[in-house]
Amino acid sequence: MNGRIRIIGGSLRNSRLEVPDLPGLRPTPERVRETLFNWLAPMLAGVRALDLCAGTGALGIEAISRGAGTVRFVERDARAAQALRANLARLKTGDGAVTVADAAAFLDGTPTPFGLVFLDPPFADDLWPALARKLEAHGWLAEQAWIYVESPRDHAPALPSNWTLHREGRAGEVRHALYRRCPELPLS
């Protein structure tokens, strides 16, 4: 383990997460998490969340700390997933489940609708459009789900037309945006 990041709010406030030294692992900066969870505060209580491309799991663990009901973490790297499991065990939270899987393959499985999704894939892979389509088309999103999207500063990924931008910001090299899913209206 080469680093640590801190949970910034809620019941686990100031807890440290061990961060393995893995290529491409890019924890969401504290400042961005603070802003995001200020935006999410009114809708977190009891929500079922999906931390897709979880990495360190900082977003999902922050959600648990602030009152989310349960969080499913999906991470393709077995070492990152093991570190995430170890952090959840050390924090004594039973509200998170970790699945080792490629995000796209996971979304081809049997869907369970989530009210909040964290979509923060490795920047170099440009997975946003494909994962967003699968989330939308395969039944992974609750009717009015919230979707957090993190991408490079000057890149607004192509997302489904019924995802409405709620708030966005930029910090360093990161663009962070919160979308609200609106049910698609049938064409008449």
CATH of the domain at 95: 3.40.50.150
19-28, 98-107, 127-136, range with the lowest pLDDT: 19-28
Residue 71 falls inside a structural domain: yes
What mean pLDDT comes out for the span 67-78? Answer: 96
Is 187's pLDDT higher than 60? no
Asked if residue 13 is part of any domain, the answer here is: yes
Domain membership flag for residue 188:
no
Is residue 186 in some structural domain?
A: no
Contacts of 39-48 with C-beta under 8 Å, sequence gap 24+, read: 39/166, 39/167, 39/178, 40/66, 40/116, 40/146, 40/148, 40/178, 41/66, 43/115, 43/116, 43/146, 44/68, 44/116, 47/114, 47/115, 47/116, 48/72, 48/112, 48/113, 48/114, 48/115, 48/116, 48/142
Number of domains in the chain: 1
Indicate the average pLDDT of the chain. Answer: 92
Residue count (the chain):
188
* Residue 187 covered by a domain: no
The pTM of the whole model exceeds 0.85: yes
Look up the domain containing 118 and give its range: 3-181
Q: What is the pLDDT of residue 94?
A: 82
Alpha-carbon gap, residue 6 to 165, rounded angstroms = 28
**pLDDT tens sequence across 17-49:** 988 888 778 888 889 999 999 999 999 999 999
